């Protein structure tokens, strides 16, 4: 159970997330109507794709784009496999930390350069199931994050 003293600042509310998911879902549905779309969820780069993406429309789905280094690497690999199109959808974008240029085609929210948790993002295995995005009270991690 989340305690009030764990929250530093709520950045994105549950309602704002719900509205954005509906908005992005509608836009992606319209843009890819009738196309052979392959979604690639980025969790860990440990496993290759089970199917070919040659000639297919590919949408890479990320939780958060930070420096862009990992996503840039992944996009280069996927482009070499000759998809018909290759686009990126991300829930959160920290453009202030970007080290390489990444085009985000479908954007949930731009956020400041702060460590965030909630709505699938965790710290030490906690806060992932919280239905909004927030920054942690610095007392929780006491200098562990850099």
Please list the active-site residues: 66
- Count of helix runs (H) and strand runs (E) in the chain: 3, 7
Pick the closest to residue 62 from 47, 80, 75 (CA basis).
75
User: What is the maximal distance between C-alpha atoms in the chain?
Assistant: 51
Which uninterrupted H or E stretch holds 116?
Answer: strand 116-117
In sequence order, the β-bridge partners of residue 61 are: 41, 89
Pick the closest to residue 108 from 4, 1, 12, 10 (CA basis).
12
- What is the spatial distance between Cα 21 and Cα 109, in angstroms, rounded to a whole number? 11
């Amino acid at each position: 159970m989340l305690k009030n003293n764990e929250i530093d600042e709520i950045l994105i509310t549950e309602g704002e997330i719900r509205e954005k998911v509906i908005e992005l879902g509608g836009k992606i549905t319209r843009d890819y109507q009738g196309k052979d779309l392959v979604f690639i969820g980025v969790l860990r780069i440990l496993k290759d794709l089970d199917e070919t993406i040659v000639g297919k429309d590919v949408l890479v789905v990320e939780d958060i784009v930070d420096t862009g280094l990992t996503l840039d690497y992944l996009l280069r690999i996927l482009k070499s496999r000759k998809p018909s199109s290759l686009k990126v959808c991300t829930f959160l974008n920290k453009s202030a930390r970007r080290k390489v240029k990444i085009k985000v085609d479908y954007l949930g929210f731009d956020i400041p350069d702060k460590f965030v948790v909630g709505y699938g993002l965790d710290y030490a295995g906690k806060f992932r199931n919280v239905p909004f995005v927030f920054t942690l009270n610095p007392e929780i991690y006491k200098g562990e994050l850099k």
